Amino acid sequence: MKPRTQLRFLSIALFALWGRAGAEVLPPFVVPSALLGRAPSAAPAPVARPASATPAPARAAAGVRPAGKAARPVSAAAPPEPAPPGSTRIVAAKVSGRQDVDAIAEGSAELIRDNTRFLGDKLHYFEQTDEVDATGNVQVIRGTDTMSGPHARMKVGEQVGVFDSPSYVISRPPRPAPPGQYLLPNQSVPRSQQPLTGHGSADSLVLEGENQFRFLNGTWTSCKPDQPDWYLRANELELDYDREIGEAKGGTLVFKGLPLGYLPWADFPLADQRRSGVLSPTFGTSNKAGIDLSIPYYFNLAPNYDDTLTVRYMGLRGVQLRNEARYITPQYKGITYLEYLPNDQVEQRSRYAGSVRHSQDFGSGWSGNIDFAGVSDPRYFIDLSTRLALTSQVNLPRQGAIAYSGGGWWTATGMLQSFQTLQDPKTNVKVGEPYKRLPQLTLTANRPEVFGGTTFQLASEFVDFSHPTLTEGRRLSFYPQLSLPLQTSAFYITPKVGLHATRYDLTRRSDTVGDETLTRVLPIVSVDSGVTFERDTNFAGKDYIQTLEPRVYYLYVPYRDQSKYPNFDSGFYDFNFAQIFAENVYTGGDRISNANQVTTALQTRIIDPDTGAEKIRAAIGQRYYLVDQRVALNSYTPVRTSKEADFLAAFSATFAPKTQFDTAWQYNPRDNWTERFNVGVRFQPAYAQSLGVSWRYRRNYSTVPGSPDGFRDLDITGQWPLIGNWHGVGRYNRNLRDHRLTQGIAGLEYNGGCWVFRSVIQHITTSTNDVSRSFFFQLEFSGAGSIGSSPLNMLKRSVPGYGKINDGSTPFVGQDDDF
């Protein structure tokens, strides 16, 4: 997350929607080295030295040396030689004055001390007070800062004084790149790593130190000097680069000559830092909320924890309050939020939502976490959220866990888990409530080299399942395994044997019959083997390595009748290349399918030997059954009786390296039809230039409970330059089976160099008969703030390859969107 400008208002005369960015993303946490027990290194303080001046003939230079050293004239044609630190050099067409009193330089005069230079038609330097009075075409250069005007008077060493009618440019060095950052082709250096530069003019500039500026009737902008599309105008503007804070009094934000907002008083950060204050207000519209305006206030409580209070006004529903707190230390981190709508004017009731997420390392192998979420009613996210991931949620987790890792090879975990099921009352779709786990205890182990080169593995579990309407019970499972990995550089073979034992103690409902105590013991035997062949090959004049990797997997599990067993947590695995090499076709622990089967697969890869990158990957695989499947998930689902499983094929390739192509196919040889087919291609020649299209198909299954639904989806996404600085961005995700738009995004972006305009419309299908439409509008001023509602998070989630057109930053490995 990127830092945002915070503003503090005393009053608002018009409307003040000015800040660094939208309030939907908070400033990042940066844990200082002191908090981690590391003291920051200290830089040596500079040492000031006395200075003096001497008279000289026409076009002469007076070099002022430390005490005891005489200055010698320098020819006008020769460049000034480097001066010792703290000494003063004066160069001009004519230099005169009194020894140890003052010096007057006239005609292209220049005074130099360390990294500070004074230039003007006339300079009068007073040695006793270390002051310089400059008139006529005055220019002061301090490091990367430049100020120019008709007259200035200041103390050279203390860097204090007054500048009349100045024009100025202030620049600060960039921040270093974060670890793991990468840049795409044609991608610019991220804005946060570019120099922070601003310029403007004023009636008067008061210099109050090396990094303190106070402007009277001044302006500030990050635009180019010859094209200031926007600027901040203030009666008094203070810039403190020691604290990296700016303050404006009586300010107005002007864009293209049009005043956008009046700021009676505001302060803002001058760099990437967090600061208490009002974050950028955001506004937009939607068919669910009407006019949507949010004003957040950010509390920077400490370097490692903060809080944000947001007031959200929705024209159709009323005023909502939201509070979000975050904290992070080397031992724990977490985030909590609570939002409350006292009176929804549409639903005529109060509504709320909240969440607590916390994880902690207690040390000595102990750790724990909490994840608890809840809403007041099932339609909360459908009515009040613009995120597809939230509007489609069915079950909200409510769980807490604690774990202990002992010896590095075994782990014990205890967990309490339940859910809030969101059953939409406006639809006929029935959502089953999951079982509660009160508690779930697990013990897992993985110990290599036990004896004779064998590896010992253990998966064990005790769960107490609770449900308000279904059969309840406790399940204890114990699954020890021994395997013998035999491996060389060319092939491997791994035989494995295990014993899966399960016991149930049930409390059946009055409408069910059966034993209350059940046991099941199943031996499981498997052999996994593979070979890797390699050869050198050549395509289009370039050398590559091609592999050929056959794999054979055998599995045997005897049959046990499980029709009387409850189904607490079992379901169907997705059929794919990973699943065909699994021991069970069912998830969970209530169903273990019988098996006597062989799985074969063949994979080939084309690898660039210079980078190790895969250019092409192709794979085929199929499972062959020696016996019929006899264990069903429930009485509604059929069992397999054929000898062949579905045929799987996949192919992916990267071309040139701007285009990626992926396809996968699942074919049913028994009925001679395609079960699933996916194909997609994405073209991304440069940063913020991406086009993608994909088509997904899954055959419609019968309507028996537990069977997956079929679909036919078309998904088109893209971000592309249009005309001039205009960019288009969009997504078209359509359910072809039901003939409806699942998600639609259409937007335009304009990069004005120092400002960006974004306008985006979003359509989300939240249920069978309900949709949500939102409008986002944002005007972002580079280095100063934005007005409107930011669509950036939504675009990054929904449009693969999306890039912020005025900022080349990209996420890096390990980045967490929540912190």
Tell whether the model's pLDDT for residue 184 goes beyond 80: no
Res 132: pLDDT: 94
The CA distance from 83 to 53, in Å, is 14
Tell whether the model's pLDDT for residue 812 goes beyond 60: no
Across the range 333-344, mean pLDDT stands at 93
Residue pair 207/159 in contact by the 8 Å Cβ criterion: yes
Q: Token match 């990042």: residue? A: 28
Q: What is the pLDDT of residues 59-88, one digit of tens each?
A: 444 444 333 233 333 333 344 555 677 788
The CA distance from 412 to 441, in Å, is 7
Res 191: pLDDT: 59
Lowest mean pLDDT across 653-662, 702-711, 758-767: 702-711
Res 357: pLDDT: 95
Q: Is the peptide bond between 439 and the residue preceding it cis, with omega within 30 degrees of 0? A: yes
Tell whether the model's pLDDT for residue 819 goes beyond 60: no
Res 520: pLDDT: 95
Residue pair 344/335 in contact by the 8 Å Cβ criterion: no
Res 69: pLDDT: 32
The CA distance from 331 to 213, in Å, is 41
Which residue type sits at 369? N
Res 2: pLDDT: 37
Res 1: pLDDT: 38
Tell whether the model's pLDDT for residue 778 goes beyond 50: yes
Residue 24: pLDDT band (50, 70, 90) is very low
Residue 10: pLDDT band (50, 70, 90) is very low
Query: How far, in whole angstroms, is CA 707 from its chain's centroid?
Result: 35
Beta strands 755-767 and 410-421: pairing type?
A: unpaired
Which residue type sits at 288? K
Res 271: pLDDT: 63
Q: What is the pLDDT of residues 719-768, one digit of tens each?
A: 999 998 999 999 999 988 888 898 999 999 999 888 899 999 988 887 76
Between 385 and 591, the more confident residue is: 591
Residue pair 562/592 in contact by the 8 Å Cβ criterion: yes
Residue 428: pLDDT band (50, 70, 90) is low
Q: What is the pLDDT of residues 535-544, one digit of tens each?
A: 999 887 889 9
Across the range 382-401, mean pLDDT stands at 77
Res 180: pLDDT: 62
Q: What average pLDDT is seen over the chain?
A: 81
Q: For residue 411, what are the contacts with CB-CB under 8 A and spacing of at least 6?
A: 403, 404, 405, 442, 443, 444, 445
Lowest mean pLDDT across 46-55, 376-385, 473-482, 571-580: 46-55
Q: What is the pLDDT of residues 460-516, one digit of tens each?
A: 999 999 998 889 999 999 999 999 999 998 899 999 999 999 999 999 876 677 788
Lowest mean pLDDT across 11-15, 192-196, 227-231, 470-474: 11-15
According to DSSP, the residues that pair with 423 across neighbouring strands are: none
Q: What is the pLDDT of residues 201-260, one digit of tens each?
A: 999 999 988 888 999 999 988 888 888 888 889 999 998 888 777 888 888 888 988 888
Across the range 376-381, mean pLDDT stands at 88
Q: What is the pLDDT of residues 88-137, one digit of tens each?
A: 888 999 988 888 888 999 988 999 998 889 999 999 999 889 999 999 99
The CA distance from 382 to 346, in Å, is 13
